[in-house]
Structure 1
Amino acid sequence: MEVTTPTKLEYFDQMFKLQSKATLIHYFKGDDGRKALILDNTIFHPQGGGQPSDTGFVCVTNSNLRFCVQDVRSKDGVVFHYGFPEDSTLESELEQGKGKQVILQVDEPRRRLNSRLHSAGHLLDVCMRNVGLGHLEPGKAYHFPDAPFVEYKDTVPPNELQNKQKEIEIEVNTLISKGEKVYAAVLPYDEAAELCGGSLPDYISPGSNPRIIKVGENPGCPCGGTHVSDISEIISLKVSQIRTKKGMTKVSYTIGT
């Protein structure tokens, strides 16, 4: 099975859309035994960038068939929707369904939680700069519900950690209480660099069109994830721990319910 046409990522432009239509390109069973759908476009966010995948359903138009989406992954620009048909007796509709129209339905509570956690990570980046830690270069981020954190290259002296933890938490919750819009757009390289403070990370090629997330009036950053429409939707944030070790500073956090 070889699909070379990239899947159009509809959530790039419409992060808050939870239902859409698409065309079925392929249905198959992989070497690992999992069944998957490939569509011409998708609003399902695949796992990546420190964010878990969406789940939900793909329903065949004018049919009783629903495909339960349990996991979503992207490879070489093609998005794979892994799961199973609720009624296995209707599976032939998928096997012979190339070109059929389908309706995508994203699990709303899961999407909103993932978006809040991811947005909170970006807000932490902003507040780290605001409290005088702008020298720390962003590294790995993990926005899963079990233990979200952001990690930065370089360290904070141990005697500063407790004070900085309190400062960051106050700064974050002040911004959440005020509320600011969150924007996402795919932009030409030079325009994207300007929004991100004048430069982009080395992994983004000059001449490309990166997707930029901007939290209020703060400098933007490249990101492929989903986010809230306003940072007030995060509700609240608690810095549960700041730890510095082996040239890295790790900020763990939780968000309000």
Structure 2
Amino acid sequence: MKDLLYYVDSTIQQFSAKILHIGNDGRDYVVLSNTAFYPTGGGQPHDTGWLNDVEVIDVEKIEGEIRHYVNGQLALGEITGQLNWQRRFDHMQQHTGQHILTAAFVELFNYATTSFHLGTGFVSIDIDTEEISEEQLQQAEARANKIILENRSIETKWVTKDELTEYNLRKDVAVDEDIRLVIIPNYDYNGCGGTHPTSTGQVSQLKIMATEKMKKQIRVHFVCGERVLQELAMRKIVLTDVARQLSVPEEQAATALKKVMDSAKATDKSLAEAQEALLQYEAKELLAGAQQHIVAMHFENRSIQALQKLARFITQLDVEAIALLAANNEDKLQFVAARGQNVTLSMKNVAATALAIINGKGGGSDALVQGGGEQTISASELLKHMENALK
């Protein structure tokens, strides 16, 4: 393994090799005499690039061979490999940033990292603690960026299992052979098969973006290098737009937005109260025109939630009442049936009749049911069937 080009020199962007084998395991692939393409492993995604002019779309280590999955045809013989260097260097920055941040959490708080994920957006580590404060996050981030700024060397070394005792490893090594250490002297010693730059300064910068609880651990999301600038640019665009719409300077956007949100919540509350009052008034009007305490009314574009509230108001105002309400909502026919406290008839029978007619689904209790289905008949015709079901 130590002779693989991506281990010999992680900065190699172009190389020459021979195609030893061409195969297909559901996808076309080639196996080379040597390669600078890193295969997926250890939390780090695969490289992409080109073999001659043929695109390499995936690289995996399978059955002891490194398969380069290609989007095109190649023949046995000499080829020139070219890495997508922007992707590779980004992975090197993020992976090395993970080593540095993980070591910072261990050094400062003795919080071990249990897993690592390098995605296309944020990078994440799960740390072995149930709680972490904002101050601790700031301290770990500051320590990591100090190590980056110091531009410390990053060394790689192949060792035997017996030689591991010479190093203060952050965690136990999971393999017995081909043991590769990635070392930031006097800071971090870790068994790792990934690719890394030659110094911490090449990580450029690290920013913790968010945290979330994961069972009994904390997941920390962060970005490094170019991704920090990308996140900053995106947030700058959003902040500028928000400030413009609020007609305030950017530094006052959060305060102004809170005022808008508070005002909107107050407006929503007032509107909800007004709607409740209107529904109560409507319930009284409908009861005034009811015959034998039965209110049957159909509507256009009245939500099922509004129908439920109206039905409850009707049956609260008159404990002897039965409310049968239906509405055409876009391409659906929906209904609600409810009874007052003194009524013993089950509304489930009404629902069963209605649902069978409109090929619908619904549910509820003996006191209140709701459902919806196809517009096989009009809302007024559905109400007649529901009234008949009462009899």
Give the TM bin, normalised by the shorter chain: 0.7 to 0.9
Aligned partners of 2:203, 2:100: CA distance in 1, in Å? Answer: 10
Indicate if the aligned counterparts of 1:22 and 1:42 stay in contact, CA closer than 8 A: yes
Aligned partners of 1:179, 1:150: CA distance in 2, in Å? Answer: 23
Higher strand share: 1
Aligned partners of 2:217, 2:152: CA distance in 1, in Å? Answer: 30
Q: Where does residue 45 of structure 1 map in the other structure?
A: 38
Q: Where does residue 66 of structure 2 map in the other structure?
A: 79
Q: 1:194 aligns with which of 147, 159, 166?
A: 166
TM-score by length of 2: 0.54
Comparing both chains, which one has the higher relative contact order based on Cα–Cα distances under 8 Å and sequence gaps of 6 or more? 1
Relative to structure 1, the CA distance from residue 190 to residue 229 in structure 2 (aligned partners, 3 Å threshold; closer, same or farther) is same
CA RMSD of aligned residues (A): 2.1
Where 1:131 maps in the other structure, the secondary structure is helix
Q: Where does residue 211 of structure 2 map in the other structure?
A: 242
Indicate if the aligned counterparts of 2:102 and 2:112 stay in contact, CA closer than 8 A: no
Task: Provide the identity percentage.
Answer: 22
Alignment of 1:1-257 (within 5 A): 9-30=4-25, 32=26, 34-59=27-52, 66-85=53-72, 91=73, 94=75, 97=76, 100-132=77-109, 134=110, 136-152=111-127, 154-157=128-131, 160-197=132-169, 200-201=172-173, 203-205=174-176, 208-257=177-226
Indicate if the aligned counterparts of 1:165 and 1:242 stay in contact, CA closer than 8 A: no
- One-letter amino acid matched to 1:150: I
TM-score by length of 1: 0.80
Q: What displacement does 1:198 show? A: 8.8
Indicate if the aligned counterparts of 1:7 and 1:41 stay in contact, CA closer than 8 A: no
Relative to structure 1, the CA distance from residue 237 to residue 68 in structure 2 (aligned partners, 3 Å threshold; closer, same or farther) is same
Per-residue CA deviations over 1:95-139 (Å, capped at 9, x if unaligned) read xx2xx222221111111111001100001111112222x2x3322
Unaligned runs of 5+ in 2: 227-391
Indicate if the aligned counterparts of 1:155 and 1:248 stay in contact, CA closer than 8 A: yes
Relative to structure 1, the CA distance from residue 174 to residue 199 in structure 2 (aligned partners, 3 Å threshold; closer, same or farther) is closer
Q: What displacement does 1:29 show? A: 2.7
Per-residue CA deviations over 1:194-242 (Å, capped at 9, x if unaligned) read 22439733x223xx23011112332311111111211111111111123
Relative to structure 1, the CA distance from residue 255 to residue 219 in structure 2 (aligned partners, 3 Å threshold; closer, same or farther) is closer
- Quick check: which has more Rg, 1 or 2? 2
Higher helix share: 2
